[in-house]
Amino acid sequence: MAEPLLVEVRRNGVVEAVHRFHAVAVRGGEVVAAAGDQSLTCFMRSSSKPLQALPLVRARDDLPDDELAIACASHHDTPEQVRAVRALVARAEATEDDLELGPQEGRPPELIHNNCSGKHAGMLALCRARGWPTEGYRLPEHPVQQACRDVHAEAAEVGPQEMATATDGCGIVTFALALERMAHAYSRLESLPGGARVAAAMRARPDLVGGPDGVDFLLMREAPGWLAKGGAEGLLCAASPEGIGVARTPRPRPARTRRAAASQHPRRPRWRDRHRG
C-alpha cells in the first residue's frame, strides 16, 4: 500500500497539524494514481448527490440549471440557494411541509433551510414525474431510494447488495463504497444516461452546489471542466474533464478524533491531576 498523503498546516513556520489523506484516481477502469488505502470503505454521504440526481434527470427534461444544481447541493442557505430550492419544490407540485427532513442546527427552523433540502426537493420532483407516492420517499423500501441504490451500483459497477447502507444525517439512505469504486463512479458519471446533464448544471452553477469556502465550489470555479462534490467527514469526490475520477478522505477524521479525545478527559483523573497547576 502506498503511503497516505500528508498535509501540514503551518503557522509562521511552525507545524500546527498534520492530516493524512487516502486518495485514488481512476481512469477507464484503471487506477492511475493512489496514496494510502484505495480499498478504504466509507459512506459517500453528500458526495452521492450527483448520483442521486440521475433518476431525477432521467425522469424529467424540464429542469433548468439552477434547480438541477440545487438538487446536487449541500447549500449554505444563501437567498439564491433557497430560491432555487423553492422553485424545485414548486415544480414538484409539493410544499415545504412535504420535505421529510429535520431543521438544521444554527439555521432558521423552516425545513427549506436545511443544507440537504435541494436533494429532498429533487426527490419529490422525481416522485411527481414517476407517479410515485411522496410520503415516505426517504425510506429504503420507497422507489426513490431503490432508484438511488441502483444508480450507485450502475456507476460503481458493483452489485446492489455489495453496498452497505445506513441512514444519512438528513434521513435518506446513504451507501458505502471503497474509495476506488467512488473514483470509478465519478469517472463514469458523464458517460451514464443523464450524467452529462447533471455535470453541466453543476459546472454552470457551482455557487448553488456549495458555498464560498467549500472545496467543491472552489475546485469547480478555479479549474474549468472539473466536477466535484464534498461529503461528510472530509470526503471529496471529483472528476476531471479528461474523465479521471478522484476520491479522497482523511484518516483519522479530525472532528471525530477531537470529540473522542475530549470525551476521555473526565475519565482519566490521574491525567487530569498531572496537569493541575
> Using H for helix, E for strand and C for coil, what is the string for 6-75?
EEEEEECCEEEEEEEEEEEEEECCEEEEEECCCCCEEECHHHHHHHHCHHHHHHCCCCCHHHHHHHCCCC
pTM across the whole model: 0.90
First and final CA of the chain: distance in angstroms? 45
How confident is the model at residue 256, as a pLDDT? 54
Residue written as grid cell 442546527 = 105
CB 123 within 8 A of CB 19: no
Q: What are phi and psi of 227, to 5 degrees?
A: -125, 135
What Rg, from alpha-carbon coordinates, does the chain have? 20
pLDDT value at 14 more than 80:
yes
Amino acid of residue 277: G
**What tens digit of pLDDT does each residue of 91-135 get?**
999 999 999 999 999 999 999 999 999 999 999 999 999 999 999
75: which DSSP letter? Answer: -
- Residues constituting the chain: 277
Q: How far is CA 207 from CA 31, 77, 122, 214, in A?
A: 31, 11, 18, 10
Which of 189, 151, 154 minimizes the C-alpha distance to 27? Answer: 189
102: which DSSP letter? Answer: -
**What tens digit of pLDDT does each residue of 156-207 get?**
999 999 999 999 999 999 999 999 999 999 999 999 999 999 999 999 999 9
Measured CA to CA, the distance from residue 68 to residue 83 in angstroms comes to: 13
Q: What are phi and psi of 165, to 5 degrees?
A: -130, 160
**Sign of the dihedral through C-alpha 208, 210, 216, 219:** positive
Measured CA to CA, the distance from residue 77 to residue 85 in angstroms comes to: 10
How confident is the model at residue 220, as a pLDDT? 96
159: which DSSP letter? Answer: -
**What tens digit of pLDDT does each residue of 204-255 get?**
999 999 988 889 999 999 999 999 999 999 999 999 999 999 999 998 766 5
Q: What are phi and psi of 45, to 5 degrees?
A: 50, -130
